Structures are given as C-alpha cells and as structure tokens.
Amino acid sequence: MRARAVSAKACGVVVLCALSLSLSAIQAVPGVPEVYSGDANVNAGNSSVILGGASNTVEETGAESAIFGGDSNVLQSPLSVLVGGADNTVKGASAKLQTLIAGSKNRVESKQATVVGGRLNRAKARYSSIGGGFNNLATGRFAAIAGGSSNTARGKYSACLGNFCAVRADNSLLVNLIGSRKATEATNTIEMWVDKFYINSCLLYTSDAAD
C-alpha cells in the first residue's frame, strides 16, 4: 500500500511539472510583443498580444493592447482591445482604452469609444458607442447609437434608435421607425417618428388619424 501511495504522489508531481512547463512556453515576456497561433499575424506593439486569427496587425503605437482572432484587423491604439471580425480598425496613436468587437469594416477612432458588431460603423468621439447595425456614425461625446442603419449622432449625449436618424443637438434622442430620413436640431428633446404608438395595447397615436 505504501509503495502505491508513493507512486501516485510521484505521478502527480510529474503531471504538475509538465503542466508548468507547458504554461511557461506560452507565457508572455514583459515588454515583448507576442503572437500565439494564427497565420500571418504581425505584432509590433510593446507588451501587446495577438491570439489567433489571420493577417491581423498591432502597430508600434498599440502598446499593451490585444487582438483576439479575426481576419485582417488593425490595432493602432494603446491599452485597447479588438476581438474578432474582419477588416476592422482601432485607430489613433494618441487615443487609448478603445474597444471593438466583431463585425466588419468598423472603426473606433477616439479615446474610450466602442463599436460592437455590424458593418461600416464609426465611433469617432470620446466615450461614444455603437451597438451594431450598418453605416452608423457617432461624432458627439458620449453619443450612442443602438444599431439600425445610416444613423448619425453628432450632439453631446445624443442618441439614435431606428434608421436614417440624424441628431445634431446635445442631450437629445431621435427614434425613427418609418423608413424615411429624419433629423432634429433641438436640444434636450425626445423626438419619435412612428406610424402607430401603443402603450399596453392602447393605441395612443396613428398617422392615419384625420387632421
């Protein structure tokens, strides 16, 4: 019984040693750009990491940043993250703390801005965010676009919901669900464009109503 116990303990030590060696083989060296797996990835950023994917690039200005997977993505900013997708860009050597997740041909171009999914979306102001959709543009600080298509949020603390919205004033929300282009230049305003508006199954507004 004693011999078996010693043997089992010895086996455990061997397994732990092997695991430790395996982990040390992929442990990043402080200050050195690292590339783990993938194909044709290029990392020039100090203390940055690329994990998987193909043809991804962390430029020299992208210190302490990371790309996880995806294809043909480019990261230029320090302390930033790009996750998956294709042909996405985290731009700006002087910007930092940016986040871009999935989608294609999206761009994040200012400090602490975020784009999540979609295509051809651009967050160009500090703290702006876009949650998917197509061809959306946020240029106001703290502006937000919740998906949709062809929306523009230019005002500070402005927001768009739906499609073909343009908010040009601060602290305003435009909701457009009718399919044609609408814009607002009024501050501190909530503006909605709908054909019908219900609350608890009660019709409060319809565009078919007589004037």
Residue 12 scores a pLDDT above 60: no
Number of residues assigned to the chain: 211
Q: pLDDT class for 13, splitting at 50, 70, 90?
A: very low
Residue 9 scores a pLDDT above 70: no
Nearest-angstrom CA–CA distance, 205 and 198: 7
Q: How do residues 152-174 score in pLDDT, each as one tens digit?
A: 999 999 999 999 999 999 999 99
Contact at 8 Å (CB) between 105 and 120? yes
What residues have CB less than 8 Å from 2, skipping those under 6 apart? none
Nearest-angstrom CA–CA distance, 178 and 164: 9
Q: Kindly report the number of other CB atoms within 10 A of residue 65's CB atom.
A: 28
Beta strands 57-58 and 42-43 are parallel
Contact at 8 Å (CB) between 161 and 155? no
Q: Kindly report the number of other CB atoms within 10 A of residue 28's CB atom.
A: 12
Q: Considering the chain, what is the average pLDDT of its residues? A: 88
Read off the pLDDT of each residue in 74-80 and give the average, rounded to a whole number.
Answer: 97
Residue 17 scores a pLDDT above 90: no
Contact at 8 Å (CB) between 56 and 71? yes
Q: What is the pLDDT of residue 207?
A: 87
Residue 93 scores a pLDDT above 60: yes
Joined together, the tokens standing for residue 107 give 């761009």
Q: What is the pLDDT of residue 10?
A: 46
Read off the pLDDT of each residue in 199-206 and give the average, rounded to a whole number.
Answer: 93
